[in-house]
Amino acid sequence: MCLGIPGQIIEITDPDRLMAMADVSGVRREVSVACILDGPIDGLIGKWTLIHVGFAMSVIDEAEAAATLEALHGLGEAQETLEQMREGAKALEAGA
């Protein structure tokens, strides 16, 4: 099963490589925005997206993002993925 988790694009990290920083439930993760780019890359800042394995797969509205996060948290499916992301972020910080 593929799990897309809502995340909000908060900054563009590498416009040449189409990379951006997304906030996923308080965890920041760099993602590719190549699949969702439809205009200037800076126009993605503040947009909500569904993120799967480092790719922003589609743009969604804030209400859909909130409902999806609530459903995933309620089902417990997002918890393991978010914990893995937190551990990965900690490992990256420790190596920096």
Instruction: Please give the CATH topology (third level) of the domain spanning 5-91.
Output: SH3 type barrels. (2.30.30)
Written as six digits, the tokens of 25 are 């439930």
Q: What is the pLDDT along the chain (96 residues), one digit of tens a residue?
A: 567 899 999 999 999 999 999 999 899 999 999 999 999 999 999 999 999 989 999 999 999 999 988 887 777 766 777 777 788 888 877 876
Which residues on adjacent β-strands are paired with residue 14?
Answer: 19
pLDDT of residue 90: 83
pLDDT of residue 91: 81
Of the CA atoms within 13 Å of residue 77, those in its CB half-sphere come to 12
What are the C-alpha distances in Å from 34 to residues 28, 40, 77, 82? 18, 12, 26, 23
Please name the helix (run of DSSP H) or strand (run of DSSP E) that holds residue 10, with its range, or none. strand 5-14
Question: Where would I find the H helices in the chain?
Answer: 62-75, 77-95
pLDDT of residue 49: 96
pLDDT of residue 11: 98
